[in-house]
Amino acid sequence: MGLALQIPDMFPQSGRLGRSVIVDQMLVAEPDDALHQLVMDSWLPQIIKRFEEDDGLPEIVSVIVSELAVRTIIKPEFHSLLKPGFRRMLEVLEALTSHAAVSKALVHAPNFDQSEITGRMVQIRSAMGPFLALSGLPDSDESIIREYYADAPQRSSEDRKALHSSLRSTTQFVQSALFTIFDRLVRSGADERALTLRYTLRALATNAHRAAMQMDASKVVNDGFADNLAAVWLKLSEPFTQDPGLKKIGRVDPDWVTLRAMLGVEDGGLNDANSEIATYWRELTRVNADKQLVDAYLEKKVSETSSISTRPGFVADCFFATANALHIGLIATIGRYKNLLKTIGRMRNEIKRFEASPELLPPQQRAAFPIMMQRWKKQLHDMECEKIALDAHVLDPRRLCSILVFYRFAMCFLLRQVDGREVFPQQPFAMPQEEGDDSALPDVWRMLPEFLIEDVVDFVVFAAVYIPEVLMESTAQVGHDGLRTFDDILPMFIITFLARPSLISNPHLKSHLVDVLHMLTYRDPREGDDYVDTLGGNLTNLQYHPSVDRFQANLDANPIARAYMVPALLRFYVDVERTGASSQFYDKFNVRYYIARTLRSLWARGREYVKTTQKFFSQQPNSNKATTGNTSRDRRVIEQFVARLMTDTTYLLDESLSKLALIHELEHKAPSDRDQDVGDRLQEAERMANTYVSLAHETVHMLAFLSRLSPRSFQAIEVVNRLAAMLNYNLKLLTGPKCSGLRVRDMKERFAFNPRVLLSELSSVYIHLGLTSSETDNAQMESDEDQQAVTRFVTAVVEDDRSYSPDLFADAYLILERWSLKSTESLEKLTLFANKCKGAKVDSRLIEFLENNAPDQYLDPLLASLITDPVRLPTSDTIMDLAVIKGQLLSDPRDPFNRAMLTVDMLEPVPELKQEIAAWREKMVEEYAAVQNGNNAE
């Protein structure tokens, strides 16, 4: 019988019959069955002893395991977790591998890892594939949705929890059995451990498209296989990841990709014969290196490998294999889960919309509306069942806690690579020095796979949104003080990579770091009265998950967070202007929205963050103390931040108010005038208003708050005119006759639009920038520069011919007083500012006279305004006014005439021309005055 199993082609009939009979007896459900005992306790040990000596055991094991695998695939009783057969299948496999010789032979079996088996075929044709595919995930077993969760959407939450609990217990049994089997394989010997690793890495490499945004599910392994493989390696990594002190973290070589994944067996690596493993790891996106740099680095390292005496050990192998398995497995599944939720939400809205207004359907579809609606609801029900089935897995607290423990190790590993002393976590973390040039970063850091950071961030965001209690679970915290997952490591990880943006090249990845901060710090403004100088802001008390309070308390206690977080957020507000993506114009608003909301929460929480913000904005050009390490760079950030904030406020207010006006117009159309086109336009306007209104509110709030905290930054000559014009235009829109066109049905509930708060905060900006400290009853005495800055703002407000009028602030005053939006003291300040504007003398005819009579070389080539402080642009040899070009460069750091890169530091003053223009202006003013006096005399 052994020879028939070993060489089935020599004994075709007895071989096929023999394997069938043997497997039948192995799978007998009754353990006391005589034949079963004979096979397992007598025949199997004899076969092992007989063929182990002549190396024929791998072929026999391959035949038996293949027969078990075939039955697992084709027979539902062994494949479905709703049937009892799968338990017996795994028990038999465990019994087989309990023999050390079988475990060793299985890894050497012909079908264990065949080079021609790739992609989807890995879970069907490899020896362990069908067993790894045993899963309760819906794409692994259709009966999970069709039978187990068929009526789940109609069931109570308690019933669903019971269903989830039962399925999770079954999944735990499956993954525990698989771990036992793989644990025996890797412990069989060094060669067997390497072969098991190679099988894992090749399975992941040939199924890398699972992590892509668009994938063909028929060409890659299903969620169940990927999830089980990740669970196995997650369990294998526990001995070093669950260590509170992380004593083995030094064994994880950051050069593992080069020293193991890229090299073949003969050189001590793990690469396969077809180089699929090496190709996959070579083409991965790196933390801070393009493909050309990666290729050059790998070529260099490969040439040096002959002189390296030691290779990374199993700890490093296990770490990178686990990280990669989670990337291809659960993280990819979570991405599809979130997409499914979005699809369900859109379908619900569409069904609700068409049920309420069937006339929105095209005429040719209205007759079939009942049938279409029935079909849509059936599709919605199926998707809801799938979502509930996925809940059992992606929201399993036990599993998520174990993953968070692994990511604690991963975060510490990444922090260790950038630690200023390179000894973390054995010693406290030291913030790395700011690198002025990306090329100065260590190569070993730059070459790390980007997904190591991305997956940590994506997982934490997912947990914070859908199951935040996991973040605080005691089983996930693990470490002692200073190394706890949620309390210590996560805040340090987020702040470090935000405060040192040069470490990571991908702006989208940096924005995900902001997502984490936002999810774990934001408090809705309705919870507290934190509107700037506005009464009645406290509308209701909202409940927040305890993780928000705990994370904020951790930030408050973290010296790195206190020192670096606010400057890092302000700096990234500027940096996100250009992401390199085609959607960068809209992406930046979303990121800045989260930054604004995060800063709002921090400022409302305590004075410490307000002081840090004030310190950052008050840095002087000649200061030798910078909040982030470089004073001149910080000053540029401040200037660019103010310019970006002002530009965003202008755009977002214009877009949100125009969309509300359009909604008002469309909603007031007579029913007879409404058609499909009107419905589509209304839906699009509502969608955009939902986004723009929220963005506008948060941006205006930040403008109001910061203009009070650091008014000088917003009174700078390069921005003050545009800022004043924007404020005047929107104040007029909110208080003038056009404001009635902004009223839409249920505007607060539908769009979170609060025009009264918007008006109040815009009015606050005038007070902050248009009054001196003594006029606002501030004990601090103002300097001459402060007085000049206030005068500059008042003049800019009055010079705005488009929107300013003496009645502008009177209309605002009446509304603010009527709705009790400001205190009496604040209203008096607004009146004082309004009177200041009335007293400001701006002779627009003089300005027009000077510009009409000025030689061309005295006029700015962009705005055609009289130059007051001329500078030369070295990139195009053009003369411009300093205020004009500085304002231009804050938005776009390029020469407006030839698009060459240009910074403010490169501008060259032209003092001779400045004196010439000043003398000419003085002469022309006298001439203008003489003309005016003559006209008055007549």
For residue 13, the model assigns a pLDDT of 47
DSSP 147: I
Per-residue HEC secondary structure of 820-869 comes to CCCCHHHHHHHHHHHHHHHHCCCCHHHHHHHHHHCCHHHECCCCCCECCC
Q: Give bridge partners of residue 871 from the DSSP assignment.
A: 880, 909
Query: In Å, how far from its chain's centre is CA 49?
Result: 57
* 863 close to 886: Cβ distance less than 8 angstroms: no
3-state secondary structure of 909: strand
Work out whether the CA dihedral 566, 572, 573, 575 comes out positive or negative. Answer: positive
For the chain, residues with pLDDT lower than 70 are 1-18, 53-54, 305-310, 360, 435-439, 523-531, 536-543, 580, 620-630, 670-676, 777-782, 841-842, 935-938
Q: Which two tokens stand for residue 648?
A: 């965003």
Cα separation, 883 vs 868, whole angstroms: 9
Closest by Cα among 587, 157, 697, 134 to 388: 157
Lookup result for tokens 């589509």? 680
Single pTM value for the model = 0.89
DSSP for 193-227 reads: HHHHHHHHHHHHHTTGGGGSSS--GGGS--HHHHH
Cα separation, 325 vs 410, whole angstroms: 14
Closest by Cα among 593, 518, 529, 526 to 555: 518
H/E element holding 291? helix 291-304
For residue 305, the model assigns a pLDDT of 66
Q: Which two tokens stand for residue 94?
A: 């465990």
For residue 304, the model assigns a pLDDT of 76
Cα separation, 157 vs 704, whole angstroms: 45
Cα separation, 608 vs 413, whole angstroms: 30
Cα separation, 818 vs 155, whole angstroms: 51
Cα separation, 396 vs 394, whole angstroms: 6
Length of the chain counted residue by residue: 938
- Residue 286 has φ and ψ, to the nearest 5°, of -100, 165
3-state secondary structure of 61: helix
- Residue 908 has φ and ψ, to the nearest 5°, of -110, 115
Q: Which two tokens stand for residue 204?
A: 């992941």
Q: Give bridge partners of residue 232 from the DSSP assignment.
A: none
Cα separation, 252 vs 249, whole angstroms: 6
For residue 878, the model assigns a pLDDT of 94
Query: In Å, how far from its chain's centre is CA 924?
Result: 58
- Residue 187 has φ and ψ, to the nearest 5°, of -90, 0
The pLDDT tens digits of the residues spanning 430-456 come to 988 876 555 578 889 999 999 999 999
* 705 close to 603: Cβ distance less than 8 angstroms: yes
* 632 close to 582: Cβ distance less than 8 angstroms: no
* 694 close to 659: Cβ distance less than 8 angstroms: no
Cα separation, 415 vs 413, whole angstroms: 6
Cα separation, 791 vs 798, whole angstroms: 11
Per-residue HEC secondary structure of 766-798 comes to HHHHHCCCCCCCCCCCCCHHHHHHHHHHHHHHH
Cα separation, 924 vs 926, whole angstroms: 5
For residue 303, the model assigns a pLDDT of 76
Q: What is the CA radius of gyration of the chain?
A: 35
Closest by Cα among 102, 138, 359, 97 to 227: 138
* 537 close to 316: Cβ distance less than 8 angstroms: no
For the purposes of burial, counting CB atoms within 10 Å of the CB of 575, is it exposed (0-12), middle (13-18) or buried (19 or more)? Answer: middle
3-state secondary structure of 630: coil
H/E element holding 879? strand 878-881
For residue 784, the model assigns a pLDDT of 81
Q: Could you tell me what percentage of the chain is helix, strand and coil, using 3-state DSSP and rounding each to the nearest 5? A: 70, 0, 30
Cα separation, 576 vs 518, whole angstroms: 16
For residue 904, the model assigns a pLDDT of 85
Q: Which two tokens stand for residue 255?
A: 């050069």
Q: Which two tokens stand for residue 80?
A: 């479905």
Distances (CA, A) of 818 to 531, 730, 731, 811, 812: 18, 19, 16, 11, 10
Cα separation, 784 vs 790, whole angstroms: 10
Q: Which two tokens stand for residue 800?
A: 């705005």
H/E element holding 101? helix 100-107
Cα separation, 654 vs 700, whole angstroms: 12
For residue 907, the model assigns a pLDDT of 92
Cis peptide before 449 (omega within 30 of 0): no
Cα separation, 228 vs 610, whole angstroms: 48
Q: Give bridge partners of residue 859 from the DSSP assignment.
A: 866
Cβ partners under 8 Å of residue 340, min gap 6: 383, 386, 387, 390
DSSP 876: T
